[in-house]
Structure 1
Amino acid sequence: MSTPLPTTLRILPSIHEVPAPLWDALVDDAAVPFLEWAFLAALEDSGSAVPERGWHPRHLTLWRGSRLVAAAPAYLKDDSQGEFVFDAPWATAAERAGLRYYPKLVLAVPFTPATGRRVLVAPGEERAAREAELYAGALEFARAEHLSGIHVLFPTEEELPTLEAQGFAMRLGVQYQWRNDGYHTLEDFLARFHSKRRNQLRRELRAPGQQGIHLRTLRGDALAEVDVDTLYRIYTSTVDKYPWGTRLLTRDFFARMLATFRHRCELVEARRGGELVAGALNFRGNQVLYGRYWGCFEEHPFLHFNVCLYHPVEEGITQGLTRFEPGAGGEHKLTRGFEPRLTYSAHLLLHPGLERAVRGFLEHERAAVRGGLPQWRAETGFKGDA
């Protein structure tokens, strides 16, 4: 029996350094659609995740000869924008101590707080071993480049043991997600709530009809009728409302979504008198829907809840999806049947003093997050929850 060739780490400055078929051969259901080559390429090619915006691609790849056996999208970061795991206080503490925090190495999908495999591994390879080799290579690279540390954002729970064995400290977060517990209709879902909450949700569900607003989902070939300016206007209408809002994605990114990633896109439209008044661009995995970009051009009571929560849930039940992840934040989701789910990140700081301080902070933060879960679950208003 021949001995397998050793693996070689290559750090690549663009996703285009790997042919799309080789990369996508590593993507499985646990990797989420945002790990597909076309999505990562759209971020780079559209000028969204590029050095000029603080994202320097340094994709980590393991090769056995000419065969790609593992890969992880990775970036040098000049700041912490677009990560959804907030470490700005750590950067401030480092600066006060006279330490350089940026650049840092981040294994993540830019602007996308969705849990999924951070390390892709080829079928037939020993997953834990390839993950460990890739993280060891990342650490060697970080030390050689005098980086402050490595951050792995939104990995799966199954990846945590390997990360911990490599010396990473775990951080917990919370997102509010809808889970399909075998519902056949929206009424099955509503039946889970106490009567007072159920009546509230039904009032909110009736609102679009009373306002003369019609909701529908466009997917597949139906998206051919969608203009890219409409998608970009949906996106910018939200980020431009806030003083801290930043247009992290370019118009060309949305053009590329329609051109190369349409098979994963779904657009919820809300129209009144034929005119678009609101919309949400979501992404579809094999069994999971991911809510991403929402915007409205007219303000109507409960419009956001219907476009971003109720309509996708009803569609998810009809289509037999197992889960709907509407994105980060939003405690209003709790009272509408979206349950708290832990998210994870892993951090390895290379300065001993900063590493100790961060580990101490994370220990207390983990206890606080776990302690809050029972109360957050109770707020859903489901029967039997106290």
Structure 2
Amino acid sequence: MKQLPIIQVLPDLKNILSSTRAAVLIAEPGAGKTTGTPPAFLDEPWMAGKSILMLEPRRLAARSAATYMASCLGESVGQTVGYRMRNDTKVGKNTRIVVVTEGVLTRMLQSDPSLGDVGLVIFDEFHERSLHADLGLALALEAQAVLRDDLRILIMSATLDSDRVSAMLGEAPVVDCPGRTYPVETIYVPTTGNLLIEKTAAAAVKRALVEQPGDVLVFLPGEREIRRTQSELEHGNLPDGIVLRPLYGQLPQAMQDSAVAPSINGERKVVLATSIAETSLTIEGVRTVIDTGLRRTQVFSPRTGMPSLTTVPVSKASADQRRGRAGRTAPGVCYRLWSQEEHNRLSDDNVPEIMETDLAQLVLELALWGVRDPAALSWLDAPPAAPYAQGTALLSQLGALDAGGAITPHGRSMAAL
């Protein structure tokens, strides 16, 4: 922990949060922000008798971060450091750092808007801009303004428009931290449009195993492509000692842990992953990244009134995050399965989920909070009017909202469920 770059900026961050209520930390990959920042605040005077909540966008990252922080303290998870996520909680009576996933933070705020025993809320990897992260921040900011003027909020990210976030937080101070990454060579491998993704990915894996040392991390858009690529490789006469490890959100915990763990007995590991491996995780041994340049996202269709999963190109920011996975522990190589010209045409950032997903859930949560007009809260990107109105109409039809837009007992049951 002492060698992590984050150690250099923690004194500044402590000084800022001792006198202000919000801050932004921009820390490059490898800085150690996720596991190095929360423990540093435990002994601050304003944290006396209070705990820290840290929001992680993914379950695997939340569990890994809690486990690592606990090990640095010489403890097991559930003592000083614990976590809460759906159907999996490890906290104890002495737990002071709780890593939570996004839906859990929303529920905690709804059940206790003042977050009475919490001194600091950390939003990690905020650049991912999930709906629950935006909602959680909006609710936390109102709780801070109305109920808890002593509550601190810290936004952390490697890639984020710090000026916009700072302005939203009332011109909160921004702290920059260098990372600790090794050089990564980028190789563009354009593919023809008529080849199936599993075939191009499998061909790139075989090439990388010949040309590069170490383990390989392959980014694919979803579980379906992972299974097909795995099958393609299993029938492709791989060299001896190669093990294939899938990694996606619905995979059992033991299999996720196996994908992240270091290789053993001289084996070389090929991890076939979704965007779950893009941030907050260091997969030991990875020296090569193969990026298909695709991600799967949920997009709301006003025409059908339903959301659907859509495969779209990644942004430049996501591509850079993925590329950086190859340089976490040693110099590496990233094979991008597209051309330099195609890369230049990518958008700079992913579209925030709040701008393209079904907003019925957001409408329901705000109604439970007591808000009918989202403009009453602070947003980095305000919910679009048309999808918000459509979500309101749907909830009214379902009996979750009354004629005035207030939540009904049935709506409260829906939110609880």
TM-score by length of 2: 0.30
TM-score by length of 1: 0.32
Highest RCO, 1 vs 2 (Cα 8 Å, sep ≥ 6): 1
